[in-house]
Amino acid sequence: MTLAELAGYDGREGRCAYIAVNGTIYDVTSSPRWQNGLHPPDHQAGQDLTEELTKAPHVRAVVERFPVVGTLEQALPEKASRGNGKLIFGIIAAVIIALVIFLAL
C-alpha cells in the first residue's frame, strides 16, 4: 500500500483506521485509543507514524499487538514509470525488427 492509499484509512466517517510503522501497516480500528482515527493528542490514522513513535511514551511492542494488514510501499514517480514503458517498448521493437530481418534472409 502506498502513502496515498494509506491516507484513505483515516478512521473518520466509519472508515477503518490504519497506521504504518517501520514499513508495516497495522489496523487500529478496534482500539478505544484510536476513536475516529485520532490517538490523543494529535496522531491521526492514515499516516506513517514511524517518526512519531520514537517520541511516544510507550514502546513499539504496543503497536505490534495490532493486526498487520500490509506493508508500506513507495509509489514510483510518474515519469520513471513512463520511462520504463518506453524502454520495454524499444526493446520489443528491436527484437521484432531483428526477427523480421533474420527471417528475410
Same domain, 42 and 90: no
Q: What is the CATH number of the domain that holds 34?
A: 3.10.120.10
Could you give the number of structural domains in the chain? 2
Read off the pLDDT of each residue in 38-57 and give the average, rounded to a whole number: 86
Helix (H, G, I), strand (E, B) or coil at 51: helix
CA 2, 25, 82 angle in degrees (round to 5)?
Answer: 15
Same domain, 21 and 43: yes
Sequence letter at residue 29: T
Residue numbers of the domain that contains 61: 3-71
Same domain, 12 and 58: yes
Same domain, 23 and 62: yes
* Statement: residue 8 has pLDDT above 90: yes
Check residue 81 and report its DSSP letter: H
Same domain, 53 and 85: no
Same domain, 82 and 50: no
Is 54 within 8 Å of 61 (Cβ atoms)?
no
Same domain, 64 and 23: yes
User: pLDDT band at 97, cuts 50/70/90?
Assistant: confident
Same domain, 67 and 98: no
Residue 34, CB-side half-sphere exposure with 13 Å CA sphere = 23
